[in-house]
Amino acid sequence: MDKIDVLIIGGGISGLASAWWLARSGLSVEVWEANQRPGGKIMSTRQDGYLTERAAAMVLNFRPEVVELVREAGLEPAKTARLPGAEARRYLLHRGRLKALPMRMGAMVASPLWSLRGKLRLLAEPFIFSSGRADETVSEFITRRLGHEVLEKAMEPFIAGTLAGDADQASAAAVLPRLTALERRYGSIAAGVLVNRVLRRRTACTTDTFSFRGGMGTLVETLANTHGINLRTGHTAEELVRQRDGWQATATTEQGQRTVSACHVIVATPAPAAAALVKPSDNELAELLRGISYAGVMIVHTGMARDAIGHPLDGTGFLAPKGESAALTGNLWMSTLFPDRAPPGKILLSSYLGGARAPQVADWDDARLVDETLGTLRPLIDLKADPEMVRIDRHLDALPAYHGAYQARMQAITARLQHIPGLHLEANYRGGVSVRDRLACGHAVANQILGARRWPSVERKRREEAEQSGAKAAYPLGSMDAVIE
């Protein structure tokens, strides 16, 4: 039976990010992925000259850990920034037309999107008291602080379009952690933004939006091919058994069963699969995981000639409030966002349908998905012809729904894990669903593991590197926290 330092079950972006941070520190790391390719839902596909994304389309980053990973993984040359036209505007579907959505407080107050009453309510935000509740929904929190119009015209479409969630059920603390933190710390969102704007000049990471040449699949391929990561595809974890000095895991493979022993195990699968694996060790933890629900998302990619669209497409795309569109939650103008997404003279649009707002979309066939998408787009962007390329990606369990008392559930999961040494849960139901969040959470779990004990393999590697460079001094390591910078 093979013995390794860390076993990671699940080769999606969460598992690969965790593996990357750990492998660079010298631990023996093995990743099990049930499918024949790593990356989970993230995959870039070329079809008829168009480059489509099966899931995440970009990275919106403000975390220094992500900057470090991209640099140290050698991904800087492959980064592609947003094209200049994509920075101009973000649109909102409003009264059957696309309207530019203001992104700053001053512009919001001046925007015709809001009524006079809505603007006055927005200006009153600094004078609104905290509710003192930790379990507010997004609807409750935004309505209390900013008013119903901001909820209806801005926040609800954001929750539905980017998180596939329902603002009436989503936990504000879970899906809007930065806004709720501003209220807790400063008593007001506006005051917190003002303070942070001053401090950001000295301390915070610059916000950066980017993808990669070849799409987001380039990120997956780079992480999966990192030296020190033993990626094993076609490995379906069947059993996880706690032992006195670690864990024993068994997987089903094409060659039969395989069992390994590991000091630490990171379960980086969706919550239902994680629940099945941890149940023998902690039934209460398994029940907490089983209580996490998921929302389905269907993506309709359409490619067409540029002259088939009358709209200038001078922005990132648009979001659609539920009062304006029942099924379609948003549309990204991918060929405006990044280069090489469509052939010369062509346009690539990616439309998102379903989510918690319209779960029935999961039952629609391809023809209806396309008809509903084009029917919504035609009057909005002056679409004059049918697309020459159509691709549909279906995700029945696309994203975890951060609904209900979600923070309390996460706190309970964390409490259970504290009683199970060597077991870690790292997936998008903890810490955020974006690629940025997954890369940063991988850094955090790696730091946790590296700081848990002295690792002879890491100390040996550092000593060998020192000897090869001519340095003969010993490396007394009291803690491994410093290994991850």
Structure confidence by residue, pLDDT tens digits, 231-244: 999 999 999 999 98
- Integer Cα distance of 296 and 143 in angstroms: 27
Q: What is the pLDDT of residues 144-174, one digit of tens each?
A: 999 999 999 999 999 999 999 999 999 999 9
Q: Is it the case that residue 123 has pLDDT exceeding 90?
A: no
Q: Is it the case that residue 469 has pLDDT exceeding 70?
A: no
Q: Where are the domains of the chain?
A: 2-45+214-292+402-450, 79-86+294-400, 104-200
Average pLDDT over residues 104-115: 75
Among 26-35, 37-46, 132-141, 405-414, which is the least confidently predicted range? 132-141
Q: Is it the case that residue 264 has pLDDT exceeding 90?
A: yes
Please tell me which residue, 132 or 13, carries the higher pLDDT value. 13
Q: Which fold has domain 79-86+294-400?
A: Polyamine Oxidase; Chain A, domain 2 (3.90.660)
Residue carrying the six token digits 């009436």:
168
Pick one of 1.10.10.10, 3.50.50.60, 1.20.120.1200, 3.40.50.720 as the CATH number of 2-45+214-292+402-450.
3.50.50.60
Token representation of residue 136: 């507010």
Average pLDDT over residues 457-484: 35
Among 54-58, 59-63, 136-140, 475-479, which is the least confidently predicted range? 475-479
Average pLDDT over residues 332-343: 96
pTM, full prediction: 0.89
pLDDT reported for residue 3? 93
Task: Give the class (CATH, top level) of 104-200.
Answer: mainly alpha
- Integer Cα distance of 328 and 353 in angstroms: 4
pLDDT reported for residue 167? 95
Q: What is the pLDDT of residues 180-212, one digit of tens each?
A: 999 888 888 888 777 766 665 444 567 899 999
pLDDT reported for residue 473? 28
- Integer Cα distance of 52 and 27 in angstroms: 35
pLDDT reported for residue 122? 85
Read out DSSP for 155-215?
Answer: IHHHHHHHH---TTTBBHHHH-HHHHHHHHHHSSHHHHHHHHHHHHTTSSPPPEEEEETT-
Q: What is the pLDDT of residues 28-73, one digit of tens each?
A: 999 999 999 999 999 999 999 999 999 999 999 999 999 999 999 9
- Integer Cα distance of 414 and 417 in angstroms: 5
Q: What is the pLDDT of residues 279-297, one digit of tens each?
A: 999 999 999 999 999 999 9
Nearest to 14 by CA among 464, 307, 446, 450: 446
Binned at pLDDT 50, 70 and 90, residue 21 comes out as very high
Token representation of residue 271: 């919550």
Binned at pLDDT 50, 70 and 90, residue 461 comes out as low
Read out DSSP for 350-361?
Answer: EEEEETTT-GGG
pLDDT reported for residue 207? 83
